[in-house]
Amino acid sequence: MELGLTDKVVLITGGAKGIGAAALKEFLAEGCLVAFVDRDKTSGQALAKSSDSRVRFIEADLTSPEACKKSVEQTVSCFGGIDVLVNNAGFNDGLGLETPPEEFMISVQTNLLHVYAMTHYSLPHLRKRPGCLVNLGSKVSETGQGHTSAYAAAKGAISALTREWAVALAPENIRVNCVMPAECQTDQYEEFFQSQQNPEALRKAISNLVPLSRRLTTPEEIAQTIVFLASDKSSHTTGQHIFVDGGYTHFDRAVGHDHDKWQ
């Protein structure tokens, strides 16, 4: 399918691994120019080296507004503008209600501030195109997870800001949507599995809770949705929370636990 993305400039945060890296590859396949920001210098350089001249790696820690501003400026300097901003960076640090308020606020800031700052500094460039914005949320903000108050708060705010920005920017024809993963086979998730006593048993148990195909979602499946939402093929879609999760979040719990008896 021709998505109308040829020569569009895409800026992705957290693009060195996982969903971000998968999105980078999908955008490249559509003929885009892609800048990606990550604090992981080794992975970022390796990904950029394995790509081509249409890719620019920006090493930055986006916990400061100044780093966000510079990342936007570097992208514009390299490619001349921004058509698509993908706010992908984020990390579930597992800080629950026992966490002191000061640490809670630091965690929320780490996962949320860069989403606002990157959008704020990209907005003048998105207005010129006009461009579009794709945020990455999480099912945690919809379902809760337990023991992850800070991450849930940040992702809940991202869901809310998606609707807020979609309303605010609709008169300027700038679309804003949010992709909502659930159980996705990312590098972070793999690290979690490997930290457990029986990684394969846990992986199988979680996979069995996903109604569609009894497996974790792949980063590529999330990335394909991101690219579609950024394309002309979704030109009248804005303010939406799109769940790419194999039915994990919204299907009846009985399907997840007793699927076989429904066959």
CATH of the domain at 91: 3.40.50.720
Q: Is 248 a catalytic residue?
A: no
| Domain count across the chain | 1
User: Domain for residue 190, yes or no?
Assistant: no
User: Domain for residue 129, yes or no?
Assistant: yes
User: Domain for residue 189, yes or no?
Assistant: no
Q: Is the pLDDT of residue 258 over 70?
A: no
User: Domain for residue 180, yes or no?
Assistant: yes
pLDDT at 257: 64
User: Domain for residue 239, yes or no?
Assistant: yes
pTM of the model: 0.95
Mean pLDDT of the chain: 95
Summarised one tens digit per residue, pLDDT across range 165-193 is: 999 999 999 999 999 999 999 888 888 89
Summarised one tens digit per residue, pLDDT across range 201-230 is: 999 999 999 999 999 999 999 999 999 999
Report the distance separating Cα 229 and Cα 59, nearest Å: 26
Which residues, 6+ apart, have CB-to-CB distance to 145 below 8 Å?
152
User: Domain for residue 140, yes or no?
Assistant: yes
User: Domain for residue 170, yes or no?
Assistant: yes
Cα of first residue to Cα of last residue in the chain, in angstroms, is 34
The residue range of the domain holding 92 is 9-184+218-251
Residue 199 pairs in a beta bridge with none
pLDDT at 252: 83
The structure tokens listed for 193 are 């599995």
User: Domain for residue 59, yes or no?
Assistant: yes
Active-site residue among 121, 151, 189, 248?
A: 151
Q: Tell me phi and psi for residue 11, to 5 degrees.
A: -115, 120
The structure tokens listed for 136 are 């990455």
